[in-house]
Amino acid sequence: MLFKKRAAATVVGLDLGSYSIKMVEMDHSGKSPVLVNYGITELVPEAIKNGHVVERPAVIEAIGVLFDTCQLANRQVNVALSGADVIIKTIQTDRMSLEELQKAISWEAEQHVPFPLAEISYDFQVLDPEGTTPQMNILLVAAKRDLIEEKLSLFEEAGCDVMLIDVDTFALLNALETNYEAPEGGCHCIVHFGNEGTHLSLVKKGLPILTRNLPVGGRNLVQKIQEQLGISEDEAYMALLGNTEGKADGKTPPDITPFLGTLLDDIAIGVNRAAAFLESTEESGNIEKIFLSGGCTNILNLDHYFKDKVGIATQIANPLAKVAYKPALFQVETAEKVAPTLMLALGLGLRLPE
């Protein structure tokens, strides 16, 4: 969590992806948060690349369209940082007091973050404050300041008031652990499919122990569908998104399952390497279940294909499994179908900054 200020009773979580913008509005006025509004709007191609805004006017216009379409007056938003300019690492250092660590952490950050210290904002958390061993474990989170400033200025120009800038890993973890019990011994693995890339994180007892950004996403699969079927990019995306419907515009969508290896093979390798990392540690256990989220989860039986690839229990995440919502929001499409796409936005909307 890199930036925060006092919030209103309702919070808007806004996921700024490279293919689309996802927005949720959560009402925190009761005992438990309630989803009262959501919306999704597509972006022009390559408006956002590698987490950075390329076509600024187009993105600002899309944000405005989304708020207007949802008739949303509240423009206080929680947003997330993602991509190569965000670093999350678990590091070890000599055990010391919090006061001593606050003085030493800048040196530790300089050793472990591949950017000049003057160019980053960072935060940390001691993972074993009650430990008695000579070494202590610290979760270090850092992001380039120009990425933070870019996000703040973008949303300010779009007429939004940023309440909190989080990191995608923690927002996804928040959505997962709000809805699913953490395993006793092992870990959960989150695989969040984006258009440009896929975010993988291993989580244990409410904290990430390993994160990876894999350079393969929905766009790679779309390009493969285009090449193999000789169709346009728009038609390929429709084939991808319409695969669960059986029919689209009166036509049966093409079977894209022969091309899923383009998306899943490299991600499966990433998961297997993460599992090997766990085996090399003494206390982390194993991956007990994989949760899939993001736009590609609309692919029919994706969880079964992924389980076959990695040999680990896999399911499509439902970040609304234990979160209340207005039933009227899902009269066209079911909550179970839409929710995995909203995973990151919901994780942001569930946070109520102090």
How does pLDDT run across 43-77, given as a tens digit for each residue?
998 898 877 899 999 999 999 999 999 999 899 99
Is 105 a residue whose pLDDT tops 70? yes
pLDDT recorded at residue 242:
61
Q: What is the pLDDT of residue 298?
A: 87
Q: With a threshold of 0.75, does the pTM exceed it?
A: yes
DSSP per-residue string spanning 338-349: HGGGGHHHHHHH
Which tokens belong to 216?
Answer: 């393969």
pLDDT at 142: 95
Instruction: Kindly provide the residue ranges of all beta strands, DSSP E only, lying in 119-197, ordered along the sequence.
Output: 120-126, 135-144, 161-167, 187-193
Interatomic CA distance for residues 303 and 182, integer angstroms = 20
Tokens of 32: 């438990």
CATH H-level, domain 181-316: superfamily: ATPase, nucleotide binding domain (3.30.420.40)
What pLDDT is stored for residue 255 in this prediction? Answer: 82
Residue 297 φ then ψ, to 5°: -70, -5
> What pLDDT is stored for residue 248 in this prediction?
45
pLDDT of 4 reads: 54
| Confidence at residue 250, expressed as pLDDT on a 0 to 100 scale | 55
Across the chain, what does the average pLDDT equal? Answer: 90
pLDDT band at 141 (very low <50, low <70, confident <90, very high): very high
Residue 281 has pLDDT above 80, yes or no: no
Q: How far is CA 86 from the centre of its chain?
A: 13
Q: Of the ranges 124-128, 142-146, 188-192, 337-341, which one carries the lowest mean pLDDT score?
A: 124-128
Instruction: Decide the pairing of beta strands 86-94 and 135-144.
Output: antiparallel
Separation between Cα atoms, residue 215 and residue 340, nearest integer Å: 20
Q: Sketch the domain layout of the chain as residue ranges.
A: 86-144, 181-316
Taking the domain 86-144, which CATH number applies?
Answer: 3.30.1490.300
Task: Give residue 330's identity as a one-letter amino acid code.
Answer: F
The residue that leads in pLDDT, 267 or 248, is 267
Q: How confident is the model at residue 101 (pLDDT cuts 50, 70, 90)?
A: very high
Terminus-to-terminus CA distance in the chain, angstroms? 12
SS3 for 286-332, per residue? CEEEEEEEEHHHHCCCHHHHHHHHHCCCEEECCCCCCCEECHHHHCC
pLDDT tens figures, 205-255: 888 988 999 999 999 999 999 999 898 888 888 887 764 444 445 567 778
Residue 251 carries which DSSP code?
A: B
Kindly state the average pLDDT of the residues 28-38. Answer: 94
Give the separation between CA 80 and CA 238, rounded to whole angstroms. 27
- CA within 13 Å, CB half, 339: 21
